[in-house]
Amino acid sequence: MEVQNLIRAFDGQRVVDDVGFSVEAGQVACLLGPSGCGKSTTLRLVAGVDLPDSGRIFVDGKPVCDGNIHIPPERRSVGLMFQDFALFPHLPVSENVAFGLKGGYSTNRAHVGELLERVRMSSHIDSYPHELSGGEQQRVALVRALAPQPRVLLMDEPFSGLDERLRDGIRDETLALLKEEGTAVLLVTHEPDEAMRMADQILLMRDGRIVQQGAPYNLYNAPVDRQAAAFFSDINILTGEVQGALTETPFGQFLTPGVPDGSEVEIVIRPQHLRIDFDRAGQGPAPTPENGTAALARVIRARYLGRESLVEFTTDQGGIVLNAIVPGVFLPPADTPMWLMLRRDRVFVFPRD
């Protein structure tokens, strides 16, 4: 599936602003972004339930929407699965799954049976939706969407109605089935964890635009700007002024090439990429290329989060507040002096907006 230069405005305001991407068969692309950034509108345009002001959409290489063509939703080979997955309450599972198939359940028994088998729901074939748990309903909704074998499946926050504990299992199961089917999937979510877990490709959206797209690894480890970095985890920010392509901080100098002298930069690091060392009578670790220079800091407070501990520090020089995440239990008392280092390969430098 491919989308080119999609634009959609409401009341003169562009909510989808020159969006373009493609999704290969068997790939999951996640449209990720904060509420109101235009994800659902993009999905609706691809589905064909809304018309773009301009732009083109292709499914299987064929145009389904451009300046001249507008193929209706039911003829786009696109399946839909939305948040409330609305199974028909008056129909049993069998009829729900067969709903989009010519001839209904009676002529598609084998296909429906096989699909239900694959999501371990065969024993519920005669049940009605109200007799199923949320997770079971979700599995039925998934195979209902896949039954007509669409080339593209569009999913809008499909897991958000589910119990937290069920979600991971159902996500993995869904992913496995989608991969087997070879369907191109476009999934809308505002949860970075979900996108990281599900996506082959993340399309990060902000104010109607895709600000970055790529594999989850790339978005996490090479964000385009501070907001993109902050979308995936808490971040620490140090600010500094550039002089001669270098920025001086309590953690030593950072290379900031291409930024004019006198302008400010933000040096960003995720809490799990701080290194901590104990203080030995005012002596810190020697500088290294990997970790730069250590800066003396004091513990403000430490909290245990289960798998990890979160320790808040303030640096002696400059009073910079920094959060560090450490695996396991690490709860130093307040005011403990410690040396902090920033993993140089995990630091992002951005011009300050």
Of residues 39 and 76, the one with the C-beta less far from ligand ATP: 39
Q: Which residue has the tokens 């400010």?
A: 264
- Find all residues with CB under 8 Å of 95, minimum gap 6, and list them: 88, 104, 105
Exposed, middle or buried: residue 289 (CB in 10 Å: 0-12, 13-18, 19+)? exposed
CA distance readout (Å), 213 to 179, 191, 236, 322: 21, 16, 23, 29
Residue with smaller CB distance to ligand ATP, 39 or 144:
39
Nearer to ligand ATP, 136 or 157 (CB): 157
Cα–Cα distance list, 199 to 39, 229, 232, 320 (Å): 15, 17, 14, 35
CA distance 166 to 118: 18
Q: Total residues contacting ligand ATP (rule CB under 6 A)? A: 11
- Please check whether residue 233 is in contact with residue 226, taking contact to mean a CB–CB distance below 8 angstroms: no
Cα radius of gyration rounded to whole Å, the chain? 25
d(CA 137, CA 150): 20
Asked whether position 35 contacts ligand ATP by CB under 6 A, the answer is yes
**Contact with ligand ATP (CB under 6 A) among 1, 3, 15, 347:** 15
Nearer to ligand ATP by Cβ, of 35 and 106: the residue is: 35
Give the span between the Cα atoms of 219 and 190, in whole angstroms: 15
Residue 99 DSSP symbol: T
Q: Which is nearer to ligand ATP, 171 or 190 (CB)?
A: 190
Q: Which of 44, 273 has the CB closer to ligand ATP?
A: 44
**Segment interacting with ligand ATP (CB under 6 A) among 36-44, 70-78, 141-149, 288-296:** 36-44
Other Cβ atoms closer than 10 A to 282: 7
Interface stretch with ligand ATP, choices 30-38, 74-82, 85-93, 119-127 (CB under 6 A): 30-38
DSSP result, 166-231 = HHHHHHHHHHHHHHHHT-EEEEEES-HHHHHHH-SEEEEEETTEEEEEE-HHHHHHS-SSHHHHHH
Q: Report in angstroms how near the CB of residue 206 gets to ligand ATP at its nearest.
A: 10
36/67 with CB nearer ligand ATP: 36
Span near ligand ATP by CB under 6 A; candidates 32-40, 216-224, 230-238, 239-247: 32-40
Binding mask 151-190 for ligand ATP (x = CB under 6 A): ---------------------------------------x
Residues in Cβ contact with 13 at an 8 Å cutoff, skipping those fewer than 6 apart: none
Please select the residue that binds ligand ATP; options are 1, 30, 37, 228, rule is CB under 6 A: 37
| Residue 96 in the binding site for ligand ATP (CB under 6 A) | no
In the bound state with ligand ATP, the residue whose beta carbon lies nearer, of 93 and 152, is 152
Q: Which range binds ligand ATP by CB under 6 A, 38-46, 146-154, 270-278, 286-294?
A: 38-46
Instruction: For residue 194, give both structure tokens.
Output: 């979900």
Q: Scanning residues 39 to 68, which ones bind ligand ATP (CB under 6 A)? A: 39-41
Measured from the CB of residue 44, what is the shortest distance to ligand ATP in angstroms?
Answer: 8
Task: Show the site string, 185-224: x = touches ligand ATP by CB under 6 A, - = not.
Answer: -----x----------------------------------
Complex with ligand ATP: residue 10 or 130, whichever CB lies closer = 10
Q: Counting contacts by CB under 6 A, is residue 36 touching ligand ATP?
A: yes
Which residues of this chain interact with ligand ATP, rule CB under 6 A? Answer: 10, 15, 33, 35-41, 190
